[in-house]
Amino acid sequence: MSAQSSSATPRSTTAAETNMPSVKYCLDKVNAKYIHGRPEPELVPSRYALKVGSIDVMVVSDGVLNLPGAMLGHNADPAVRAAWLEDMFLPPDVLEWALNVVVVRSGGRTILIDVGIGMEFPDLPRAGKLVQRLEDAGIDLASVTDVVLTHLHMDHCGGLFVDGVKERLRPDLRVHLAAAEAKFWESPDFSRVAMPPGFPDALRRTGKRFLKEYNSQMRTFENEYEVAPGVLVTRTGGHTPGHSVVRLASGGDRLTFAGDAVFQVGFEHPDWYNGFEHDPEEAARVRVRLLRELAANRESLVATHLSFPSVCHVALDGDVFRWVPGPWEY
């Protein structure tokens, strides 16, 4: 692969749950170096709207996840990783990841792309805000015609299990995901991930719960599916076998929601393995391919864990990439 840094030192991948502090530990570090104190949660901006041609797009924050910094690149040399975090004014051991969801309206359909984490993990109390924030934005769950799940990790599907949500969603709701994703969670492989204690079990549980509880609404696709005019969900694989991205195109404008194909560190270090990636080598290949394409066609990028509202562009920077945040458009 070109457009990669050479600073990662591949090592044998750590097994699940090794060398990772708990998320409870991470939560307690909230006033660590470079992390500000916290205002009342609803004083922070939690939604940002834009248009892609005639498609209405709204990025909604589900909150933030407190996670170990090492998850950003568990194959990287720890000293190189620590230096990168310091250069980015990020604390060395704990990060707060944004958790973005997108609402899209096109051709009379209202589409939720991912649904946040819900209440699936008790030590992540600063996420799981989606239902409240959709209400605050005037979006009734009963108006949602389609849900697209980029993959079945709990921070992307957990919102479906919040008390009362299923009852408020329409009976004819369609939930789209790649067939390969549904298949994977029947018997998921966690041998290559690096996660905090408790995560693999919680992820297995929520993946299986989705397959059981939403089986009748599930609509699977092999490689791509046009959910509504200009709204195309496309399987990439990598992060999970059925991981998918959503490409929006209308009136000459384009935006891609990359799900977990791109993390903040992925611009400078696309070859760093994220701890949630079930096939890290393939995930890195997917990331490089997507970032190169977005740099070439100059379209906008939104991703689940890029800082809210995450609307940005991708530039080539020698062998690697550069993150170019978009200006706020009021």
By beta-carbon proximity to Zn ion, the closer residue of 117 and 228 is: 117
By beta-carbon proximity to Zn ion, the closer residue of 155 and 181 is: 155
DSSP 3-state assignment of 260? Answer: coil
By beta-carbon proximity to Zn ion, the closer residue of 81 and 243 is: 243
Asked whether the beta carbons of 108 and 118 are under 8 A apart, the reply is: no
DSSP state of 8: B
Q: Which residues make beta-bridge pairs with 101? A: 60
Q: Residue 259 CB, nearest distance to Zn ion (Å)? A: 7
Q: Residue 53 CB, nearest distance to Zn ion (Å)? A: 28
By beta-carbon proximity to Zn ion, the closer residue of 115 and 312 is: 115
Window of 27-35, 86-94, 154-162, 250-258 that interacts with Zn ion by CB under 5 A: 154-162
Q: Residue 262 CB, nearest distance to Zn ion (Å)? A: 11
- Does 155 bind Zn ion (CB under 5 A)? Our answer is yes
By beta-carbon proximity to Zn ion, the closer residue of 120 and 155 is: 155
Report, in angstroms and rounded to the nearest whole number, the Rg of the chain calculated over CA atoms.
18
Residue type, 105: R
DSSP string, 77-110: -HHHHHHHHHHTT--SSEEEEEEEEEEEEETTEE
DSSP state of 127: B
Q: Residue 170 CB, nearest distance to Zn ion (Å)? A: 26
Size of the site for Zn ion (CB under 5 A): 2
DSSP 3-state assignment of 256? Answer: strand
Interface with Zn ion in residues 289-318 (CB under 5 A):
none
Asked whether the beta carbons of 304 and 117 are under 8 A apart, the reply is: no
Q: Residue 124 CB, nearest distance to Zn ion (Å)? A: 12
Q: Residue 106 CB, nearest distance to Zn ion (Å)? A: 24
The tokens for 81 are 């990783």
Q: Residue 298 CB, nearest distance to Zn ion (Å)? A: 26
Window of 134-142, 153-161, 167-175, 239-247 that interacts with Zn ion by CB under 5 A: 153-161
By beta-carbon proximity to Zn ion, the closer residue of 96 and 155 is: 155
Residue type, 138: G
Interface with Zn ion in residues 249-268 (CB under 5 A):
260
By beta-carbon proximity to Zn ion, the closer residue of 260 and 299 is: 260
- Nearest Cα to 268, choosing from 99, 83, 93, 21? 83
Residues 106-145 as x/- pattern, contact with Zn ion by CB under 5 A: ----------------------------------------
Measured distance CA(279)–CA(41) in Å, rounded: 35
Those residues whose C-beta lies under 8 Å from the C-beta of residue 84, and which sit 6 or more positions away, are 73, 76, 265, 268, 269
Write out the residues near Zn ion by the rule CB under 5 A. Answer: 155, 260
